[in-house]
């Protein structure tokens, strides 16, 4: 937003709605803030393609008020109004419509943002959570009562792995066509399509991803051995902390028919390869560079890292999340 003469700025901040045609396209954010000095600069930001928030507009506070106007090309985006360094900010769902932004005590994080769209639904969800209901119960209730809301599809997209395939499927099928066709809804559908709802005692499901040399590696390549499928990531501190002991266990039992297959949730090949080298991982490591949407992870229902599945010589999943002495003991039983 280009700032012109002071008189023009004050006119914009006078909130005379007549200054904006009723059929105008785009968004208008009318702000009332307490505790900010005149000429305090505020920024409107939203994420670029890489997911990093960047400032796309700025304006000044005058007599406790500010305004942003513009137009977004997408249907909606998660945006923020705040200071330049993001330390004092409020996030909300930005759409091409009117917004009222009210903040007190110089704390933008506690601002109340109102609109007729997705933000209205999010405000209702927040009220439901703060009503004293259990969070999961509040989420289930909201999705059931708001099948046409994109917020419902977003909740399912965020929690599908932790809620599991059965619960997610029931809630997904309750959504409207609009919610199912949203970006969030499509991702949930992909999860339901890929996820195999595997349980202890089931036969493993084969898959392949590629190693650092771009060669395909299948779980079935280790047929007849005891296999630990280790889901990890170069970015995961807890995963990296467990690697030294896993290396020790691998070296102890490898000659007897034990193997580890590392499946990494990665987007950067350099970070992945550097972590393999730094931790001196001797086993096969693979990834598909889809990050948290790693297809093998979706297939096996992985929603936290590190996580693993132990498979016996007959290809049966006999347990998950084995580490340390518990893993050593189980391997001895299986070999």
CA distances from 95 to 77, 180, 185 (A): 7, 19, 18
Decide which of 194, 216, 248 is a domain's last residue.
194
Looking at the fold, whether 59 and 86 belong to one and the same domain comes out as yes
Is residue 136 domain-shared with residue 215, that is, in the same domain? no
53 and 33 together in one domain: yes
Same domain, 213 and 168: no
Say yes or no: 12 and 77 in one domain: yes
Q: Are residues 108 and 126 in the same domain?
A: no
* Strand 27-33 versus strand 98-103 pairing type: parallel
Q: Indicate whether 228 and 328 sit together in one domain.
A: yes
Q: Tell whether pTM > 0.95.
A: no
What tens digit of pLDDT does each residue of 56-101 get? 999 999 999 999 999 999 889 999 999 999 999 999 999 999 999 9
Question: Strands across the sheet with 27-33, in order?
Answer: 65-70, 27-33, 98-103, 112-114
Shared domain for 14 and 96, answered yes or no, is yes
Q: What is the pLDDT of residue 224?
A: 94
Do residue 108 and residue 128 come from a single domain?
A: no
Average pLDDT of the residues in 268-285: 97
pLDDT exceeds 60 at position 6: no
Residue 105 belongs to a domain:
yes
Please tell me the total count of domains within the chain.
Answer: 3
Q: Are residues 106 and 27 in the same domain?
A: yes
* Within-domain flag for 179: yes
What is the predicted pLDDT for the residue at 23?
53
The band of 106, judged by pLDDT with boundaries at 50, 70 and 90, is confident
19 lies in a domain?
Answer: yes
Give the domain range for residue 25.
6-114
For residues 110 and 225, membership in a common domain is answered with no
**What is the C-alpha to C-alpha distance for residues 289 and 269, in angstroms, rounded to an integer?**
8
Which residue among 74, 93, 114 closes a domain? Answer: 114
User: Domain for residue 199, yes or no?
Assistant: no
Question: Within this chain, do residues 212 and 254 fall inside the same structural domain, yes or no?
Answer: yes
Could you tell me the CATH number of the domain that includes residue 58? 2.60.40.10
Please state, as a whole number, how many other Cβ atoms lie within 10 Å of the Cβ of residue 134: 10
> Angle 272-276-280 (CA atoms, 0-180°, nearest 5)?
170
Of 59, 80, 114, the residue at which a domain comes to its end is 114
d(CA 295, CA 136): 26
User: For position 288, which CATH number holds?
Assistant: 3.40.30.10
Out of 7-16, 48-57, 125-134, 197-206, the most confident range is: 197-206
Across the chain, mean pLDDT equals 89
């Amino acid at each position: 937003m280009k700032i012109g003469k002071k008189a023009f700025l004050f006119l914009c901040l006078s909130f005379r709605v007549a200054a904006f045609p009723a059929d105008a396209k785009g968004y208008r954010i009318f702000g009332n803030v307490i505790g900010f000095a005149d000429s305090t600069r505020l920024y409107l930001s939203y994420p670029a393609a890489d997911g990093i928030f960047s400032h796309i507009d700025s304006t000044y506070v005058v007599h406790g008020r500010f305004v942003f106007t513009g137009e977004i090309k997408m249907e909606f985006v998660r945006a923020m109004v705040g200071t330049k360094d993001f330390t004092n900010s409020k996030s909300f769902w930005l759409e091409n419509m009117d917004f009222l932004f009210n903040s007190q005590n110089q704390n933008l994080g506690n601002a109340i943002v109102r609109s007729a769209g997705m933000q209205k639904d999010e405000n209702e969800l927040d009220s439901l959570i703060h009503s004293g209901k259990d969070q999961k119960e509040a989420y289930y209730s909201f999705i059931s009562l708001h099948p046409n809301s994109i917020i419902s599809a977003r909740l399912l997209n965020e929690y599908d792995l932790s809620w599991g395939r059965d619960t997610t499927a029931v809630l997904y099928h309750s959504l409207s066509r609009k919610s199912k066709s949203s970006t969030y809804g499509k991702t949930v559908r992909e999860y339901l399509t890929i996820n195999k709802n595997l349980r202890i005692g089931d036969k493993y499901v084969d898959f392949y991803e590629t190693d650092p040399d771009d060669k395909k590696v299948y779980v079935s390549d280790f047929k007849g051995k005891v296999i630990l499928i280790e889901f990890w990531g170069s970015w995961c501190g807890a995963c990296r902390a467990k690697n030294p002991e896993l290396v020790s266990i691998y070296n102890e039992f490898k000659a007897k028919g034990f193997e580890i297959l590392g499946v990494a949730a990665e987007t950067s090949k350099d970070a992945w390869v550097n972590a393999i080298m730094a931790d001196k991982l001797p086993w096969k490591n693979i990834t598909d560079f889809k990050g948290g949407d790693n297809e093998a992870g979706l297939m096996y229902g992985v929603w936290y890292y590190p996580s693993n599945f132990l498979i016996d010589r007959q290809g049966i999943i006999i347990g998950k999340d084995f580490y340390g002495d518990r893993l050593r003991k189980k391997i001895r039983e299986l070999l």
